[in-house]
Amino acid sequence: MTFQLGGDLSVHRLGFGAMRITGKGVWGPPSDEAAALAVLRRAIELGVNFIDTAESYGPHTSEALIAKALHPYPNDLVIATKGGFDRPSAGAWVENAKPERLREELEGSLRRLRVERIDLYQLHRIDPKVPEEDQFETLAAFQREGKVRHIGLSEVDADAIERARKFFPVVSVQNRYNLADREWEPVLDYCTRENIGFIPWYPLQVGKLAAPKGALARIAQKHDATPAQIALAWLLEHSPVLLPIPGTASVEHLEENMAARKIRLSDEDVAAIG
């Protein structure tokens, strides 16, 4: 179950999101660094070859841990990172996509990940305080310089994707999306038509759908699975461009998430979920 990201990077569709290997509140180092490193290494053992991180996770912590755990990297490993957020304090996320700041972030990510080129560099948010064309032209410059292979966007609508495509090919979109929150369904439809990878963040949210005796609970019981595993299986079934990246700081939870790849939902299951 793979997807050709950008037409030339083959990734297994169930990846790993590396936000939660940092400290509490996505701030600072993890309380157990050995456990965080073990999760990253186990992900590779389980066949994960797509890891999503960001400069702002920590900040810097997630990228540094990925390199510490996995460098030199497996030949097929695709690492995606993001720039565009400042972290002035724990719990604070401030858009900053000024060209000079994006440049600083990119150079830092290259250094921490110990690579000469980022496989997928994503604009974490379009900064409303900075002219949009300045942000897009900066990303395009990174690609022309050979420091970025492919470019993606996060939390955008289809119109923004179209505007960005005037500057560079958009190969991925990372928007919040899950069984319980499908606000971005029109963007997913657009990405499916255009063969753009859609990376749903917060993919495990199930909300009221997991209520006892509800459809999701019944289907989970039928497959001897958890509701979260069914949520991941549903995402993989829902569109061929969906690339879920569930994150965790636990090897046990990681293994549970990855087991969702083996679940095959029937048409009846999908209809019952709605």
Determine the 3-state secondary structure of 193 from DSSP: helix
Q: Are 152 and 118 in contact (CB under 8 A)?
A: no
If you average pLDDT over residues 5-34, what whole number do you get? 97
CA distance 152 to 196: 9
The tens digit of pLDDT for each residue in 114-160 reads 999 999 999 999 999 999 999 999 999 999 999 999 999 999 999 99
Instruction: Tell me which residue of 177, 180, 230, 228 sits closest to 199, measured CA to CA.
Output: 177
Kindly name the residue from 57, 73, 121, 177 that is annotated as catalytic: 57
Percent of all residues in the chain with a pLDDT value above 90, rounded to a whole number? 94
Instruction: Tell me which residue of 196, 161, 156, 194 sits closest to 175, measured CA to CA.
Output: 156
Q: Respond yes or no: is residue 57 known to be catalytic.
A: yes
The tens digit of pLDDT for each residue in 189-220 reads 999 999 999 999 999 888 777 788 888 999 99
The tens digit of pLDDT for each residue in 82-118 reads 999 999 999 999 999 999 999 999 999 999 999 999 9
Report phi then psi at 224, rounded to 5: 55, 50
pLDDT of residue 208: 79
What is the set of domains in the chain, with CATH numbers?
Answer: 2-205+241-246 (3.20.20.100)
